[in-house]
Structure 1
Amino acid sequence: MKFLGNVLAVIIGLLIFSVMSFFIIAGIVAIAASSDSEVEIKENTVLVLNLEGRTIVERTSEDQFDFSSLPGFGGVANVGLLNLKKAISTAAKNDNVKGIYLKAGMVFAGQAMLQELREELKTFKESGKFIVSYSEIYTEGGYFLSSAADEIYLNPLGGLEFNGFSSEIIFFKGLFEKLEIEPVIFRVGEFKSAVEPFLLDKMSDENRLQTSVFLNDLNDFAISKVAESRGLPYEQVHEINNEMLVRKNADALELKLVDGLWYEDQVTDLIKEKLGLEEDKDIKTINVTTINKSSKSKNKLSKNKIAVIVAQGDIVSGTGEGVIASESFVKEVNRAKKDENVKAIVVRVNSPGGSALASEVMWRALSEAKKEKPVIASMGEYAASGGYYISAPADTIVAQPNTITGSIGIFGLWFNAEGLMKNKLGLTTDVVKTGELSDFLSFSRKLTDLEKSIYQSTVEDGYDTFISRVSEGRNMSKEEVLAVASGRVWSGIQAKENGLVDVLGNLEDAIEIAAKKVGVEDDYRIVYFPQEKPFIEKLLADLTNDVQTRYMQYKLGEFYPAYAQIERIKKYQGLMLRMPYDIIVE
């Protein structure tokens, strides 16, 4: 009876959840439908950029709206960089918008994305309008972004993290030893350390060197921007950062990293004062989604198009969501190539790499497109390994100073699970085969020397092809490419010095370069491929996956990153062009 009671409880729970979901989603649809009317921005309005607890991605649906006030939803998890930049640009040009209220102390994004957004905020300030920032807690990245504001305020009992960058790797050697799983690695290059977590229990000297170099590069860049915005000497800010001199909130104020230790109501009063409002009057505000609707029709008359193909995520073969799938990517490239009104192509790359085969397929498509119209690569947070491979054919490569790129190397990964099967699970296997290599790369036994030599030869051939693709695209000799290859990761600054990048800049810079190459710099419009799904359609499609992900994060807590990495390993197929590891700068 207890079992039947539990089953009945689960059924009732699912039924209630389904009914509630139906009404909530129906409400969202109704809100979205009613918000399609033309937006009028009222006088003395403030644009609110509330990025607290949100992750910045390349872009989200144009019709996405803020439903953080709806029960059970909390906040919108992702917000598009392109959407944010469009909102800030629109606000700068609209006389009715007087300033920005920035709440971004706990924003989740990489340094290059934060830099692009920061640049947009600096451009906004040139319009003579104000930016006021407030947060209860500022993380390192959140403070880097918020330092672009005219004034920064911190909650008296909050906190500010400003102590430099670190990057931590999870190593699986001990786990595999306990499970009696033997990883067999095939690679080329002393810096191709994507495989190190499977072989070692700490970083190799080579990996520690490259990580230290680009982390310091990124940190020095961030320090210089903070010093510039706060009007402080670089040496002073470097000392504050290096020695973590902000250990309590009073330190942040004394060291001039913030302008006051205030509560939010005090910040609101300040904004009212800037707007010339009386204390009992409400501030007129507008959010990103709404202000973007006010500029939807802009620049739609020109026949000249610059196509921006967004390539974000791991590189895989075929099709798929949330990744750069070769079949889908090629389709978009060919679509842009065949459109006579598309005068140039900009590929926006934000990828750590992935499948070598898929990278080659995409390289081919861009190389063919390049024969007919200019191709410009714009590197975002990272464009490494396969991400660099698909950027190589571009006429010009543009990267941010703090973009992570390079990692020109290749590896193959195979696991011998004989010990796990036999000693842990009590499983044995037997095989009948017609040829010596009919069971090539069987996971239930050790590899033979012949198998190892065949696989290693394939990896070396793949590396040689990678080097050739870069050599051809960058107009460098193979020797020059080899000198900066071997799987080594570089910052955007270092990549430019090494000839792997042409221009340090953002997506807009890449688009301007493309427009100038075809002589349409004063008459063009931007079209984005692939077309974003409507928000409601995307919400319904992602609902199940999102629930599963959140459930695993809740169950595993701090161990979730290890679980996620193992799940990613399971998808590795064939030769891989990938960054050393998932680089998370904290």
Structure 2
Amino acid sequence: MVKFFKYLLATFAGGLVAAFFLVLIFIGILSVIASSSDKETKIEENTLLVLNLEGPIFDRIVENPFEDALAELSGSPSPEGLNRILANIEKAKRDENISGIVLETGLLTTGYATIEEIRDALIDFKSTGKFVYSFAPIYTQKGYYLASVCDKLYLNPGGMVELNGLYAERTFYKGTLDKLGVEMQIVKHGKFKSAVEPFMLDEMSEPARLQTEVYLNSMWDHVKEKIAESRGVEVALVDEVADQMPMLRDPQLLLENQLIDGLKYKDEFLEELKELTDTDSDDDLSAVKSSKYAKVYVPKETKGFTREKIAVVYAQGGIDDGSGKGIVSEDLSKTIRKARRDSSVKAIVLRVNSPGGSALGSEIIWREVQLASEVKPLIVSMGDVAASGGYYISCAADKILAGPTTLTGSIGIFGMIPNVEGLTDKIGLSFDGVKTNKFSDMPSLTRPFTKDEKDIMQAYIEHGYDIFIGRCADGRDTSKDAIDEVGQGRVWSGANAKEINLVDEFGGLNKAIEAAKEAAGLEKYRILELPEIEDPVQAFIKGLSGEAKMFIGKSIMGDEYKHLEVLESLKSGAQIQARLPYHITVR
């Protein structure tokens, strides 16, 4: 009895301590929120706009004081939104108080298509005569790619630059599943539909390797051409330096080949900025970060109120993937329907950044895209990836814009149902039951498909693929045969996709909005971003369990947590998928 009360007291004390720390954390969050209240920010003359892009970059930033406060308390970079980055760069271009932009992008990790949009905006910014500078002790290859557009690109004398070409890697689970006694029963259409390969092979198939080589080389050709153009060197030089692994060599190699402008310490870099902004050496630079600058008001050239709007609808993440964090087909369909029926919305831009997901969910969204495109201009803007289901929901648009490094295509579908009979035999489990009809127990996870069941599943996949290529053929004004020829589940880069008529033009979100403006014949317009933002307090409370689960998982497993997410998606996702191969990592 004494031990019981000792344990009870210890448990109670532990609960009190945990509650105490939770209260402290909550108070800390509230204090940070209070200190960063939503007041309009005012800036001085000769101010620098500082873009710290080392955190995650989403297509759309959702102003969430809780998330920002947690990031500030933990010391991690706050999430940023491409929409806010582009808007701030455009505003800084007009702002007489902004002298230039300073990039903090050394550890940039976002996708190449997103980087391309920011690069283009910075090039446009420089056309005003204002400067863009960058400094970092370490540049990832993506960080360097963005910084290469700067007027001056500096590296710490003891720093490193990762510039060694692109590499795409996939993880294969078949060996693990074999040891567990789990067989993935797979039905698919398309020899390039490699999303299922991690569960049925130990390495890439030849078609998968071929398609990866094609789109990866296409992406690298574009990246090195843009680096060469920005740095004023030959394309061959970029390859030559990349083959020397400059990250592990003396930085003088980069300086001698004009790939950086100098080796400086941070204090030297700051002194140069002070000279550029006429700041006294003993004074601090006047600088404003992106989140603060978003609250700065700078009058636009066009004055007056206009009722006419262009709706920008964001579709980011997996389609009906079960996590609730990606695209929910019913919700997105409702949002597109709302924009279609709103008489003040004269055109729609659908921003797609999705690897696909549920085939049924993709069909549901496609229908609303098609209906909307019949009554008003609808332009698709593809982000880093708009493949498989992501392409499905795009194909009915009047015009599709993508970046040269966007991953798209992957027109195909597949289905996977595990058979755990081998595992249950190992642990001594057996199953028995009674059924009234031939297929009453289909699909079963505890036995393999019968021939009839497999034939039914294959016919269902073939029917789904036929619908998919039919949607694409109608949207692209071509034949099913023509789509099938470039389909079969094959992934293409944006540059490849333009050549085979899967996209119409190169360009990012800003260019898509301009295309929508022209198509609708608008002189003046306002941007309406959809879906409407959820209340941050409700979103914070709703996301606590998911965030806690992710935090614990990443704390224990680190980068390997992504494999657990793959297995989790199998449990929660739809069985029939129009999805890009799982977790293509391009770096």
Q: Normalising by structure 2, what TM-score? A: 0.95
Deviations 1:417-436 (A, max 9, x none): 1111121x221110101111
| Closer, same or farther: CA 499–44 of 1 in aligned 2, 3 Å | same
In 2, Cα distance between the equivalents of 1:232 and 1:497?
27
The 1-side partners of 2:497 and 2:565 are apart by: 30
Code of the residue aligned with 1:477 in structure 2: it is S
**Cα shift at 1:297:** 8.1
Distance 2:234 2:94 in 1: 33
**CA distance 1:487–1:300, change in 2 (3 Å):** farther
Secondary structure of the residue aligned to 2:149 is coil
- Counterpart position of 2:404: 401
Give how far 1:13 is off.
3.1
Shift of 1:306: 0.6
What is the correspondence of 1:365-404 to structure 2 with a 5 Å cutoff? 365-404=368-407
Q: How far off its partner does 1:511 sit? A: 1.1
Given that residues 304 and 343 in structure 1 are in contact (C-alpha distance below 8 angstroms), is that contact kept between their aligned partners in structure 2? yes
Deviation (angstroms), 1:75: 2.9
Which among 461, 464, 467 is matched to residue 465 of structure 1? 467
Aligned residue runs from structure 1 range 89-100, under 5 A: 89-100=90-101
Name the counterpart of 1:271. 273
Give the equivalent residue in structure 2 for 1:16: 20
Give structure 1 stretches of 5+ with no counterpart. Answer: none
Partner of 1:250: 252
How do 1:132-143 and structure 2 match up within 5 A?
Answer: 132-143=133-144
Give the Cα separation in 2 of the matches to 1:64 and 1:133: 28
Which residue matches 2:191?
190
Find the aligned partners of 1:261 and 1:413 in 2 and give their Cα distance: 53
Task: Please identify, of 462-471 and 100-109, the stretch whose mean Cα deviation from structure 2 is larger.
Answer: 100-109
- Partners of 1:515 and 1:65 in 2: how far apart? 36
Instruction: Summarize the Cα distance change of 1:315–1:503 in structure 2 as closer, same or farther, 3 Å threshold.
Output: same
Paired residue type of 1:237: V
1:239 Cα offset (Å): 1.6
Q: What residue number does 1:162 align with?
A: 163
The 1:72–1:461 alpha-carbon spacing in structure 2 relative to 1, beyond 3 Å, is same
Cα distance, 1:173 vs structure 2: 0.6
1:173 correspondence with 2:174: yes
Other-structure match for 1:364? 367
| 2:383–2:402 contact (8 Å) kept in structure 1 | yes
Output the CA distance in 2 between the equivalents of 1:92 and 1:265: 27
Give 1:562 deviation, angstroms. 1.4
Q: Higher mean Cα deviation, 487-496 or 308-317?
A: 308-317
User: One-letter code of the match for 1:315?
Assistant: I
Question: Which runs of structure 2 are paired with 1:220-239 in the superposition (5 Å)?
Answer: 220-239=221-240
1:301 aligned to 2:302? no
Partner of 1:493: 495
Q: Write the letter of the residue equivalent to 1:529.
A: L
Q: Amino acid of the residue matched to residue 311 of structure 1?
A: A
AA in 1 matched with 2:313: I
RMSD: 2.0
Judge conservation of contact 2:195–2:581 (CA < 8 Å) in 1: yes
Separation (CA, whole Å) in 2 of partners of 1:390 and 1:293:
34
The whole-number CA distance in structure 2 between the counterparts of 1:9 and 1:62 is: 37
* Aligned counterpart, 1:324: 327
Decide whether the 8 Å contact of 2:162 with 2:246 is kept in 1. Answer: no
Q: In the alignment, residue 287 of structure 2 is paired with which amino acid?
A: T
Q: Structure 2 unaligned segments of length 5 or more: list them.
A: none
DSSP 3-state at the match of 2:102:
strand
Contact 1:217 1:491 in 2 (8 A): yes
- Equivalent pair of 2:91/2:298 in contact (CA under 8 Å): no
Q: Deviations over 1:138-186 (max 9, x none)?
A: 0010110111111111112221100001011110111111000011100
Distance in structure 1 (CA, Å) of the matches to 2:193 and 2:110: 25
* Structure 2 residue 452 is the aligned partner of structure 1 residue 447: no
Structure 2 vs 1, CA of residues 64 and 42 (structure 1 numbering), >3 Å: closer, same or farther?
A: farther
Corresponding letter in the other structure for 1:288: S
Cα displacement (A) at 1:457 = 0.4
Taking the aligned partners of 1:157 and 1:551, their CA distance within structure 2 comes to 35
Which is further off, 249-258 or 80-89?
A: 249-258
Give the match for residue 287 of structure 2. 285
Pick one of 428, 431, 436 that aligns with 2:430: 428
For 2:315 and 2:510, locate their aligned partners in 1 and report how far apart those are by CA, in whole Å: 16
1:411 alignment partner in structure 2: 414
Kindly state the Cα deviation for residue 320 of structure 1 after the two structures are TM-superposed.
6.7
Q: Decide whether the 8 Å contact of 2:353 with 2:385 is kept in 1.
A: yes
Mapped partners of 1:119, 1:65: distance in 2: 32
The 8 Å contact of residues 189 and 486 in structure 1, kept in 2 or not, is answered as yes
Question: Does the 8 Å contact 2:320/2:573 carry over to 1?
Answer: no
Cα distance in 1 for partners of 2:347, 2:289 equals 32
Paired with 1:87 and 1:268, the residues of 2 have a C-alpha distance of 22
Q: SS state of the match for residue 328, structure 1?
A: helix
